[in-house]
Amino acid sequence: MKAMSRTWPRVMGFLALAVVLWWALSLLQSNTDTLVSLTYQKWGRDLAQNAALTGEGVEPFGVMTVDGGQACEEAFRPRLEPLQEKGAASALLISCSLAEGVVSYKVNRLQATGEGVLIAEGGHRLPSAFSLFPPLLAIAMAFIFGNILPALITGILLGALLVEDFAPLGTLERTVTDYGWGTITDPFALYVCAFTLALLGLVNISVAMGGIRGLIDKLAHWAKGVRSTQLVTALMGLAVFFDDYANTVVVGGAARPLTDAKRISREKLAYIVDSTAAPISGIALVSTWIGIEVQAFEDLLSSLGTYSDLAPSGYAFFLEVLPYRFYCFFAFFLVLLVAITGRDFGPMLKAERQSRKGVSPQADQITGDFKMAPRSEIKPKEGAPPRWLNGVLPIGFVILFTIAGSVMQGAEVLAAKGQPVDWSSPGDWMQAFIHVDESVKVLFWAAIGGTVFTVLLARAQKILSFRESTSAWTRGVFGMLPTMAILVLVMALQQVIKDLHAAEYLAAQVGDVAPALLPVMVFCLAGLVAFATGTSWGTMLILMPFVLPTGAALLEGNPDGPVILFLIGASVLDGAIFGDHCSLVSDTTVMSSIASGCDHTRHVRTQLPYALLAMMASAGVGYLWIAYSGGSMIWLSYPVGIGLMWAWLMLVGKEVGEPEPEPDPVEGEEAEPSAG
């Protein structure tokens, strides 16, 4: 009865919130012209990469006809003109249409013989404000009831219902086939899940052979207390800069025994891991992220009008934007400030205080989620030597394998484009690395290779037998299988949001604003899109083609135009990472929770105030101040932003302190001697 008395108010409150949210969304108006333009632009980008037009041996077209208005003309013609060859016999016919809220396009190639060949076609209903309903309701449900699995399933079902125009059978079929089976069998999802599980299994073998124990003992020289341990963990995240997925799993798995020993909460570990993953990979000069970021700039340079010559290439534009990546820098600096001051605030403060006392929250008190297998359950084998190299070498092997594999795979991509890599040139090596387009596949094979290496390492030293290594690996893998359901459901909900075109709807809501306000407005918009959709890469790719050319047009003739345009580019990238940090439906946030052994809802709830603090500093002294000052004060924005975050910690935060010592046994209560 007590449980029901606590549940019913939540149920009624949730239903009332759902009704209010639906009513509020019904009041929002759609910008049809902008939505149509964004949709055509997306189709134009896809068509420019269509193998039927760009594949090897494909005959070029000589004439291109675009029928469908100015928006259709502007979206397709500039992207396809480079593929046109005067004098070629065939013609390309492109038609666009908008009828009864449904936008569509069709592309045909007319051969010299008069025969028509369909190249591509597509169409969908223009998105409305209701496309935001499923993700927002799922997020609200997770926080109200504290259980993420039913919330994700509810969001998927509601999204499928909207996609299928409330047809029950169609909703059921799409949910099962597309969002259920389709997600489970998706190669990307399979590689992400397999890589995560394999790497966690590898860490378990390292624990069993004493490697992690030895690494902890070695790091104990630097990590002598809570503050230094947090700093060491943050620096570990900085070291694994090349990929956010690898960062979360490697650092979360390796640092968990170290932070557990100092009674640092799992919530704090997840926060450190999450805040040194995407923010570091996003600004690293060589990472799996830079390929996406550079390509986004490269594709748009020619459409920036008078600003097209700001940078000779996408990579050069990325370097120009780098000093304005305020959120990424401030998010990392905040981690360091929290560690140095030893202060916390909000829900994190409560979690830290409980952890220092040795109190671990029970699953049924918080979220009811599947329990995560604690790392402490995997013990070193009795008599296993605590050699720190046995903890470093397996992870080092994975890192080197990932870098080498990325270079090799990127070289294949460049070779397919007719740009073979000169292996004697370090510059070509870096170009190959940033052009990798199957990074999760490389990560998976790196984890498998690292597992084999670790098993052989343990066997060669006669520490673990093959059977013992297999047992340790499978305990890590099977212990995490239930929690992988969260990751799979998050990916399914992301597909629902994509089918509803929620990101396009949000992007179309940008109105006319003062030029100096553009960067902070775009930053907030990117954060909102990433929060609702759970994908930072998707947010970047959707918003960048819209906001950067739009900003260039609005800034034409403005003396501060170049600086504001760089700020807009940075605000898209940083806003996407900020929104992803705050989102309950982000796959990287889920992976941070899994690798850290932290309840996912608690991770998001405790991390949110810190992400908002870094966001406020970034927006205030970064995107807003620099835009109004014309970039002349950028040298001052970083110390001011860091100072403001430090002041907040000192004024609002509370010092948690070191763990409470274990109580000494009371006299007369010594352990009884064993029988015999």
Interval 417-461: pLDDT, tens:
778 888 888 778 877 877 777 777 888 898 899 999 999 999 999
User: For residue range 242-273, what is the model confidence (pLDDT) as tens digits?
Assistant: 667 767 877 887 788 889 888 999 999 999 99
Percent of the chain with pLDDT over 70: 90
| Number of Cβ within a 10 Å radius of residue 26 | 11
pLDDT bin (cut points 50, 70, 90) of residue 520 is very high
Across residues 625-639, what is the average pLDDT? 86
User: For residue range 590-620, what is the model confidence (pLDDT) as tens digits?
Assistant: 889 988 889 888 999 999 999 999 999 999 9
**What is the structure's pLDDT at 326?**
95
- Which helix (H) or strand (E) segment is 337 a member of? helix 326-341
Burial call 166-194: b when 16+ CB within 10 Å, e when fewer: eeeeebeebbeebbbebbeeeeebbbbbb
Across residues 47-70, what is the average pLDDT? 84
Integer CA distances (angstroms), 333 to 227, 271, 566, 620, 626, in order: 14, 13, 22, 16, 19
Across residues 467-472, what is the average pLDDT? 90
Q: Domain spans of the chain?
A: 2-30+130-184, 36-126
β-sheet bridge partners, residue 107 = 94, 120
Task: Identify the CA nearest to 61 among candidates 111, 106, 95, 105.
Answer: 111
**Rounded distance between C-alpha atoms, residue 489 and residue 265, angstroms:** 26
User: For residue range 366-397, what is the model confidence (pLDDT) as tens digits?
Assistant: 333 333 333 335 677 888 898 889 888 988 88
Q: Where do runs of H (alpha helix) occur along 417-535?
A: 426-434, 439-460, 466-500, 502-507, 518-533
**What is the structure's pLDDT at 377?**
53
**Rounded distance between C-alpha atoms, residue 337 and residue 395, angstroms:** 27
Lowest mean pLDDT among 436-440, 552-556, 670-674: 670-674
The token pair at 179 is 């969002």
Whether 229 and 262 have beta carbons less than 8 Å apart is answered as: yes
Across residues 21-49, what is the average pLDDT? 86
Integer CA distances (angstroms), 289 to 53, 246, 417, 574, 646, in order: 28, 12, 20, 12, 29
pTM over 0.85: no
Q: Where do runs of H (alpha helix) occur along 100-186?
A: 133-145, 148-163, 168-173, 182-184
Lowest mean pLDDT among 15-29, 166-180, 207-221, 394-408: 207-221
- Residue 134 burial (C-beta neighbours within 10 Å; 0-12, 13-18, 19+): buried
Region for 286 from its dihedrals, namely left if φ exceeds 0, alpha if ψ lies in -120 to 50, beta otherwise: beta
Q: Which fold has domain 36-126?
A: Double Stranded RNA Binding Domain (3.30.160)
Task: Identify the CA nearest to 465 among candidates 208, 203, 201, 200.
Answer: 208
